[in-house]
Amino acid sequence: MHPRFFLALTPLLFSTLAHAVDCENATDQTTMNQCAAQQNKAADKELNALYQQITTRLKSNPDSKKLLIGAQRAWVAFRDAECKFSSAGVEGGSVYPLIYSNCITELTKARVETFKNYLKCQEGDLSCPVPGA
């Protein structure tokens, strides 16, 4: 990349970063959409970390691991379809990214809680699909 090109982009990069930081006081739709996307990304990152912990615990049980993978794929498909449906009333509008991202984030946070509960399983708890640590 040519240095002048990068320098020309630098103000845009810094203004985007500085603008996205103040999510508590977001007043315009673009900023609210960006903040919702950031929250979505954070929830997804947490979900993926927990998923990795669970798959690690299931490494000695390939059948359970396969069931988890299938369940997670089905859950992702459900989440995406549910959020597409629940935000259909604003599809094409400037508020759509906010409504859709908020839906994805809320469902992802609920899944995070499910995964956290799986990771709290005690050794010998036959009602829990993930072995205790």
Pick from 62, 68, 44: nearest CA to 119: 68
C-alpha separations of 127 from 90, 94, 118, 132, 133 in Å: 42, 45, 10, 12, 16
In a domain, 56, yes or no: yes
Burial level of 98, CB count in 10 A (0-12/13-18/19+)? buried
pLDDT tens string 93-126 = 989 999 999 999 999 999 999 999 999 988 777 7
Residue 18 lies in a domain: no
CATH of the domain at 118: 1.20.1270.180
Residue 14 banded pLDDT, cuts 50, 70, 90: very low
What confidence tens digit (pLDDT) does each residue in 22-74 have?
888 888 888 888 888 899 999 999 999 999 999 999 999 999 999 999 999 99
Q: What is the number of structural domains in the chain? A: 1
Q: Show the domain range for 100.
A: 30-133
Instruction: Please tell me whether the overall predicted TM-score, pTM, comes out greater than 0.95 for this model.
Output: no
* Structural domain contains residue 98: yes
Per the domain annotation, does 3 fall within a domain? Answer: no
